[in-house]
Amino acid sequence: MPTQSTVESSRQPVRHLIVILGDQLDRHSPAFHGFDSERDIVWMAEVIEESTKVPVSLPRIAIFLACMRHFRDALRSEQIHVDYRELALGEPALADALAGALQRHRPAKVVMVEPGEWSVRESLRAVVARHSVLLDERADDHFLCSHREFADHARGRKQLRMEFFYREMRRKHQILLDRDGKPEGGDWNYDAENRGSFGKAGPSDIPSPARFAPNPLTAQVIAEVQRRFPQHVGKLDRFDWPVTRDQALIALQDFIDHRLSHFGEYQDAMWTREPWLYHSRISAALNLKLLNPLEVIRAAELAYRSGRAPLAATEGFIRQILGWREYVRGVYWHLMPGYLDRNAMRASEPLPGLFWTAETDMQCLADSIGQTLELGYAHHIQRLMVTGLFCLLLGVDPKEVHAWYLSVYVDAVEWVELPNTLGMSQYADGGVMASKPYIASGRYIDKMSNYCCQCRYKPAEATGKAACPFTTLYWDFLIRHELELSSNPRMVMQVRNLARLTEARRAEIISAARELRQSLRVQVNGSNLST
Residues that bind ligand SF4 (CB under 6 A): 362-364, 442, 445-446, 451-452, 455, 457, 459, 468-470
* Cα–Cα distance for residue pair 447/469, rounded to 1 Å: 16
Strands 109-113 and 82-85, sheet pairing = unpaired
Residue 390 beta carbon to ligand SF4: minimum distance, rounded to whole angstroms? 9
Number of residues that bind ligand FAD (CB under 6 A): 27
Cα–Cα distances in Å, from 61 out to 65, 105, 223, 412?
6, 28, 12, 10
442 binds, among ligand FAD, ligand SF4, none (CB under 5 to 8 A by kind): ligand SF4
Residue 82 CB, nearest approach to ligand FAD (Å): 27
Pick what 445 binds: ligand FAD, ligand SF4, none; C-beta below 5 to 8 Å, kind-dependent. Answer: ligand SF4
Among 388, 423, 442, 459, binds ligand FAD (CB under 6 A): 388
Element containing residue 372 per DSSP (H, E): helix 363-375
- Which of residues 282 and 345 has its CB atom nearest to ligand FAD in the complex? 282
* Cis geometry, peptide bond prior to residue 2 (ω within 30 degrees of 0): no
89: DSSP letter:
T
Amino acid identity of residue 86, one-letter, is E
Concatenate the DSSP letters of all residues of 293-319 into one string: HHHHHHHHHHHHHTTSS-HHHHHHHHI
**Integer Cα distance of 441 and 471 in angstroms:** 4
Which of 150, 165, 324, 333 lies at the binding interface for ligand FAD (CB under 6 A)? 324
Q: How many CB atoms lie within 10 A of CB 8?
A: 13
Other C-beta atoms lying within 10 Å of the C-beta of residue 7? 16
Task: Choose the contact partner of 452 out of ligand SF4, ligand FAD, none; CB within 5 to 8 A by kind.
Answer: ligand SF4
Q: Identify what 281 binds: ligand FAD, ligand SF4, none; CB under 5 to 8 Å per kind.
A: ligand FAD
Looking at beta carbons only, is 170 or 279 nearer to ligand FAD?
279
Q: Which of residues 274-303 bind ligand FAD (CB under 6 A)?
A: 279-283, 286-287
Q: Which does 283 bind (CB under 5 to 8 A by kind): ligand SF4, ligand FAD, none?
A: ligand FAD
Give Cα separations from 138 to 102, 108, 112, 150 (angstroms): 19, 16, 6, 17
- Among ligand FAD, ligand SF4, none, the one that 363 touches (CB under a kind-dependent 5 to 8 A) is ligand SF4
Least distance between ligand FAD and beta carbon 318 (Å): 9
Residues contributing to the site for ligand FAD (CB under 6 A): 279-283, 286-287, 320-321, 324-325, 328, 379-380, 383-384, 388, 405, 409, 411-412, 416-417, 420-421, 424-425
